[in-house]
Amino acid sequence: MSARKPLIAGNWKMFGRRADLAEMTALAERIGPASAAIDVLICPTAPYIAAAAQTARITPILVGAQDCSPVADDAARTGEVSAAMLAETGAGYVIVGHSERRQFHGESNELVRKKAEAAMAAGLIPIVCVGETRAERDAGRATAVVAAQVAESVPDKGSNLVVAYEPVWAIGGDRIPTVPEIEEIHSVVRRTLAERFGAAADGIRILYGGSVSPKNATEVFSAAGVDGALVGRASLKAADFAGIILAHPAAVR
Ligand code: PGA
């Protein structure tokens, strides 16, 4: 049993409106004491972080953001939101380098690393996302691609971060990798982190993400080296997300 506390994070993407924040309260009720053994995080869009954080004061659910500026200090960057602002608004975590940002906003590993650095400087815990495309997997390059992403996207400064392995081809669909496939990549990520951070890498949680659902959560959590999940669609409704959280072996029922 790993010493790392599991983290199950909900990425609401550009879904989840003000009315949906009620799902957080419903979630807290459904998971009950499970939240003592598992960090449960919801990442709504930036405009709702403050309201979510308000809700989180009465529930044991953590709140995070989905992106931040790579510029740490206040600056002339129209439309950007800094990590310090997110922290001030109530976020404790921030997702950086999600494949949708890499794909639709052309984010490079270098930019993702700068965002993670800005997050850490503001006291946020970055969740650095990595993952291969279908074409890269079919070409037998999955492990090499992910190792390079980890090497280039994860900052050198400190190890208070999370890595999420999200194969691009498994996001938003209904297919997930096999357990051995997940285990292979997770061990590559852990090895790459250990080479960089030594023993401190032991504390870094590595999540699996991509089409996690109440149906496959038990299988995902059975994979060696998986410290939790990053969940998209199935995090929007309390019933689905609770189904995933309660499937974790650490969940106290
Ligand atoms: P999904 O999204 O669970 O809807 O596949 C996961 C993610 O993109 O983080």
- CATH for 149: 3.20.20.70
Residue 105 has pLDDT above 80, yes or no: yes
Contacts of 169 (CB under 8 A, 6+ apart): 132, 133, 134, 137, 175, 210
What kind and span of H or E run contains 39? strand 39-43
Whether 160 maps to a domain, the answer reads yes
Active-site residue (options: 23, 98, 107, 117) = 98
Which residue range(s) make up the domain with 193? Answer: 7-245
Q: Per the domain annotation, does 173 fall within a domain?
A: yes
Pocket test for ligand 1, best of 165, 168, 169, 212 (most atoms within 8 A of CB): 212
Confidence of residue 58 (pLDDT cuts 50, 70, 90): confident
Please give all residues whose beta carbon lies within 6 A of any atom in ligand 1, as ranges: 11, 166, 171-172, 209-212, 230-234
- Counting every residue written for the chain, the total comes to 253
Cα 249 from chain centroid (whole Å):
19
Asked if residue 215 is part of any domain, the answer here is yes
Query: Do residues 10 and 42 lie in contact, with contact meaning Cβ atoms separated by under 8 Å?
Result: yes
Look at residue 29 and give its three-state secondary structure.
Answer: helix
**pLDDT level of residue 34 (50, 70, 90 thresholds):** confident
Q: Which atom of ligand 1 is nearest to the CA of 11?
A: 9
* 166 is annotated as an active-site residue: yes
Residue 1's pLDDT band (boundaries 50, 70, 90)?
very low
- What span, in angstroms and rounded, lies between the C-alpha atoms of 45 and 57? 18
Average pLDDT of the residues in 67-77: 97
Amino acid 2: pLDDT: 57
Q: Is the pLDDT of residue 207 over 80?
A: yes
Establish whether 248 is a catalytic residue: no
Is residue 250 in some structural domain? Answer: no
Residue 251 belongs to a domain = no
Q: How many CA atoms lie within 13 A of 109 on its CB side?
A: 13
Confidence of residue 94 (pLDDT cuts 50, 70, 90): very high
Q: Is residue 232 one of the residues assigned to a domain?
A: yes
C-alpha to C-alpha distances, 48 to 25, 121, 124, nearest whole angstrom? 15, 23, 17
Which atom of ligand 1 lies at the shortest distance from residue 234's CA?
Answer: 3
The answer to whether residue 252 sits within a structural domain is: no
pLDDT at 159 over 90: no
d(Cα 247, Cα 93) in Å, to the nearest integer?
23
Structural domains counted in the chain = 1
